[in-house]
Amino acid sequence: MSITDPVQLTADLIRCPSVTPNEGGALVLLEKLLSEAGFECTRVDRGGISNLFARWGNQRANKTFGFNGHTDVVPIGDENAWTQAPFGADIIDGVMYGRGATDMKSGVAAYVAAAIDFVQNTPPDGALILTITGDEEADALDGTTALLDYMAEAGEQMSVCLVGEPTCPNVMGEMMKIGRRGSMTAWFEVTGKQGHSAYPHRAKNPLPAMARLMDRLASHELDRGTDHFDASTLAIVTIDTGNPATNVIPAYCRAAVNIRYNDLHSGQSLTEWMQSQADKVSEEFEMPISMKVKVSGESFLTPPGALSNLVAKSVEAETGVKPEFSTSGGTSDARFVKDHCPVVEFGLVGKTMHQVDENVPIEQITQLKNIYTRILTDYFE
């Protein structure tokens, strides 16, 4: 009976210094392991980013379960602030330390180990697809999107997909994601006329115009939430003139806002609303206002149903905790997968992700593998 140790695999992956966008040997390791287990592996590298596609079973299988995750990690920050080696995977008192321990090399290790043992011990009537990217923590332009583009071209199709990101705030099993809020950033620039602060009538001060615009945006109630989403939020994240002098009225003022929005909105609808407010302020103050927008991901929801119930049942069976269906948090690569097939997310407790001394209790890694194994068993039954 094949038994793949997810704890050892997590350690092996942490020791690969795959700080985004560097591959660091992580995908090479996984490709070798999966190939030896009978998976057909294809590197889907694009734009200098390394990605791995792996399939077990017939491409024309009547049902295909997919896992998605990433092996790239954020930078370690100040190495001297770490009490353990950032890429050492040291285990102290049952806790493994290292960058990516939580986000999300343990999640990848758990589902790779579950998938390998499952197909070798109880070959299912169907197929498994694993999509693993090296571009989730950065711009995500050539990661999961490249894998999905490859799948479309190659005729590959997942019936459903589980993303192994950390989803639990404090207790293993307490939360899974059935959707995510949308995320977008807008940058504004008001152009005035520089002048002496003692003679403001000879200048055109852009700051009052920017202050008016920011107030209108921030004080506007976008909504009060929906059945599955909290209320949308808009945060002013910077206002700047680059002006060190107190006797000079600057010519420019720049600001930016970040919006996290639910399924009542789209990036397009919010862009149009912000543009209308900017146009009104521009007219009131007789100053041009430019706006640039980047939509990082649209909101999405996988309505509660067969997939979410399958995952929730498996989580509760292994942990004794019934997970909450949530859409909270930031963005993940599920925002891309949702255009391909139904997708949910479940993974570890994420309290230490991106922190100095990022760590994971090793018992949680084994528990996560058991959860994923139960999901596969119940899905293919």
Residues that are catalytic? 72, 136
Is residue 248 helix, strand or coil?
Answer: strand
Q: How far apart are the first and last CA of the chain?
A: 20
With beta carbons less than 8 A apart as the criterion, state whether 161 and 343 touch: yes
CA–CA distance, 371 with 71 (Å, rounded to integer): 20
From the list 217, 215, 210, the residue with the least C-alpha distance to 189 is: 210
CA–CA distance, 166 with 350 (Å, rounded to integer): 5
CA–CA distance, 260 with 184 (Å, rounded to integer): 7
With beta carbons less than 8 A apart as the criterion, state whether 68 and 27 touch: no
CA–CA distance, 311 with 296 (Å, rounded to integer): 27
Tell me how far CA of residue 16 lies from CA of 30, 194, 331, 352, in angstroms.
11, 53, 25, 19
With beta carbons less than 8 A apart as the criterion, state whether 344 and 379 touch: no
